[in-house]
Amino acid sequence: MNYRLVAIEVGDLLKYETSVNQINRIGQATLGIRQESFANGSITSVRAQAVHDWILSLAKNRMESTKRTELLISFCRKICPDEHIEALEKILDSAGLNSSAVNKELLSEFMSRSYHPEIIKHVKNLFLQGHYFHAIFEVCKVYNKLVQSKSISPKDGQALMLDVWGADNGVLKVTPCQTETDKNTQNGIKFLSAGLMQAIRNPIAHEPAIDWPINKQDCLDLLGFVSYLFRQLDSSVYVKVQKGV
């Protein structure tokens, strides 16, 4: 693949649309490499030069080719404003990236995990586009909403999970909550769900993607965790509990 041509075309596309600081922040957060300088007399925009330098630095870095291509696509999409996404995708298509074996490999890796249908429905496309941060945020929102719906509760996030999944007064039950093992399992689902809200959903709801990066492996692992919670929600039953009894 001609990295130099991609670097020039993407840089030219975005030379008026973002800041050097933003490009560098995304480059550092997404690529995880040291930026080098590659002088090019035909480039007159400092923004275009920054894009050019990051892409050629990535091309020079020694790593597995599939990983390099994934990082290139992710970097380009993250620095691109929405109004230029279509033009960017044409550049990537011309370079043989969007229809390449990379996307097929990503799809195979995603589908091989046998995730819950809600995950496939809501985040498959985000994952394939390299939007790992947004994929996790989306699936957390879906889980929260479905728990609200099944428990008929107006609460949200951590407070919701601690209230509706409890062994004593929770309305969603995955066990009879009779034995100590029953109660441990039930409360385990409560704390896992609350932990998802506190440790994952809340930070990414309040932090910019470039300040809270989520890589592909973390995304796959977290989706597996939430998939487990979705299946527990599916198997749970609603039990009306009289508070204080």
| Same-domain pairing of 76 and 153 | no
Same domain, 44 and 121: no
CA atoms within 13 A on the CB side of 83: 5
Question: Is 49 part of a structural domain of the chain?
Answer: yes
Whether 244 maps to a domain, the answer reads: no
pLDDT at 245 over 60: no
| Boundary-marking domain end, from 99, 125, 141 | 99
Full residue range of the structural domain in which residue 40 is found: 3-99
With respect to residue 71, please indicate whether it lies within any of the assigned structural domains. yes
For every residue of the chain, DSSP letters joined together read: --HHHHHHHHHHHTTTTS-HHHHHHHHHHHH-S-------TT---HHHHHHHHHHHHHHHS-S-HHHHHHHHHHHHHHHS-GGGHHHHHHHHHHTT-TTSHHHHHHHHHHHTT---HHHHHHHHHHHHTT-HHHHHHHHHHHHHHHHHHHHT----HHHHHHHHS-TTT-SEESS---SHHHHHHHHHHHHHHHHIIIIIIHHHHHS-GGGS---HHHHHHHHHHHHHHHHHHHH-EE----TT-
Contact 197, 161 (CB under 8 A): yes
Final residue of a structural domain among 99, 130, 154: 99
Between 204 and 199, name the one with better pLDDT. 199
pLDDT score of 83:
82
Claim: this prediction has a pTM higher than 0.75: no
The candidate with the shortest Cα–Cα distance to 232, out of 175, 152, 149, 162, is 175
75, 99, 123 - which closes a domain: 99
117 and 73 assigned to the same domain:
no
Same domain assignment for residues 178 and 81: no
User: What is the distance between the terminal CA atoms of the chain, rounded to a whole angstrom?
Assistant: 68
Asked whether residue 94 falls in the same domain as residue 113, the answer is no
Indicate if 226 and 126 belong to the same structural domain. Answer: yes
User: Is the domain of 93 the same as that of 114?
Assistant: no
Considering the domain architecture, whether residues 46 and 156 belong to the same structural domain is answered as no
Q: How many domains does the chain have?
A: 2
| Residue 170 domain flag | yes
Same-domain check for residues 114 and 232: yes
222 and 119 in a common domain: yes
pLDDT in tens, 102-151: 667 788 889 999 999 999 999 988 888 778 888 999 999 999 999 999 99
Given a cut of 50, whether residue 216 has pLDDT beyond it is yes
- Is pLDDT of 174 > 60? yes
pLDDT digit string, tens, across residues 69-102: 889 988 998 898 878 888 888 898 888 776 555 6
pLDDT digits (tens, 9 = 90+) for 15-69: 987 889 999 999 998 898 999 999 998 999 999 999 999 999 999 998 888 788 8
Among candidate residues 94, 93, 102, the one with its CA nearest the CA of residue 130: 102
Same structural domain, 75 and 195: no
